[in-house]
């Protein structure tokens, strides 16, 4: 009997969902941390702004030009690792074009569930909308992006009932970029991650964006690298196919030769692919 799709064992699932196979993950994360520290020194920023009552609910804010659009970036780490400070470098690309960036922190599993992580990132978007005046951003130009676990969070933010839950406009998010996300959590219950994530059938149903396609949504860009594990590529294509089948606007951006970590790096480059995609989303929302 299969555990998920054609996978018969945890070993098969792990081989298709581990992102560090063949890579020096500690060295990759040291690189991100070093470059992020440099960016925090070079760019104006306000660190650790509280968007909610718990200790983890804070964000690092990189201002743009007055009345700028803002990109809210949600980091990855399989919901159990990472911090906003590790990914400050990804603000560099958009900031070079006057776009404000907020990199969110959130509590990690197993201290909290993925449900709570989703609640926190939704709260961050709501806080930014309410505090747009003080931050010098345009609250009618909020865009979201996320990498890996952050890609799953992008899907859940797009599925949010903003009027019903937050008394915000239904279109509070004007565009979205999901980078190397996991949109169907079912295989992870059978993976090496389960002791940390403690997924239940109910959590999987609630937190799989594939099962929660909104009736209306802003344009979505889905992207991943061609050198990523095959399941990441399949999940991205399957989610986008379901998105389009629901009548929603979306497109795929391929990244030939990019692995799971390279796939997000071009946000750090003012002339990078994902910086260009972000600018396109903003331009599209402005027409």
Q: Which domains does the chain show, CATH number per domain?
A: 16-44+72-265 (3.40.50.1820)
- Residues of the chain with pLDDT > 70: what percent? 100
pLDDT at 198: 97
Question: Between the CA of residue 248 and those of 67, 85, 213, 269, what are the distances in Å?
Answer: 28, 33, 9, 29
List pLDDT tens digits, range 88-147.
Answer: 999 999 999 999 999 999 999 999 999 999 999 999 999 999 999 999 999 999 999 999
pLDDT at 66 over 80: yes
pLDDT at 264 over 80: yes
Structure tokens at 10: 């945890």
* pTM for the structure as a whole: 0.97
List pLDDT tens digits, range 76-89.
Answer: 999 999 999 999 99
C-alpha to C-alpha distance for 68 and 139, rounded to whole angstroms: 9
C-alpha to C-alpha distance for 223 and 262, rounded to whole angstroms: 12
pLDDT at 287 over 80: no
C-alpha to C-alpha distance for 226 and 50, rounded to whole angstroms: 37
Helix or strand run (H / E) with residue 144: strand 137-147
Does residue 51 contact residue 128 with C-beta atoms inside 8 Å? Answer: yes
List pLDDT tens digits, range 1-11.
Answer: 799 999 999 99
Query: How many residues are given for the chain?
Result: 287
List pLDDT tens digits, range 153-208.
Answer: 999 999 999 999 999 999 999 999 999 999 999 999 999 999 999 999 999 999 99
- Residues of the chain with pLDDT > 90: what percent? 98
pLDDT at 10: 97
């Amino acid at each position: 009997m299969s555990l998920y799709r054609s996978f018969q064992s945890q070993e098969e699932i792990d081989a298709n969902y581990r992102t560090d196979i063949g890579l020096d993950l500690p060295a990759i994360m040291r690189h991100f941390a070093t470059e992020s520290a440099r960016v925090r020194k070079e760019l104006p920023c306000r660190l650790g702004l509280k968007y909610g009552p718990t200790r983890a609910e804070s964000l690092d804010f990189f201002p743009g030009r007055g009345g700028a659009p803002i990109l809210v970036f949600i980091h990855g780490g399989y919901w159990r690792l990472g911090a906003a400070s590790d990914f400050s470098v990804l603000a560099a690309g958009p900031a070079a074009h006057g776009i404000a960036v907020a990199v969110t922190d959130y509590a990690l599993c197993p201290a909290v569930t993925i449900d709570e992580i989703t609640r926190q990132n939704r709260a961050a978007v709501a806080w930014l909308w309410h505090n747009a005046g003080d931050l010098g951003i345009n609250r009618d130009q909020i865009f979201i992006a996320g990498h890996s676990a952050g890609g799953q969070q992008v899907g859940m933010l797009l599925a949010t009932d903003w009027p019903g839950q937050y008394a915000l406009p239904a279109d509070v998010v004007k565009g979205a970029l999901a980078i190397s996300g996991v949109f169907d959590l079912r295989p992870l219950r059978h993976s090496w991650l389960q002791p940390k994530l403690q997924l239940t059938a109910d959590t999987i149903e609630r937190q799989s964006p594939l099962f929660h396609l909104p009736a209306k949504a802003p344009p979505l860009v889905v992207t991943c690298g061609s050198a990523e594990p095959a399941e990441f590529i399949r999940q991205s294509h399957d989610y986008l196919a379901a998105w389009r089948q629901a009548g929603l606007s979306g497109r795929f951006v391929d990244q030939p030769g990019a692995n799971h970590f390279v796939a997000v790096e071009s946000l750090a480059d003012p002339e990078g692919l994902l910086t260009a995609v972000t600018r396109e989303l903003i331009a599209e929302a402005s027409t």
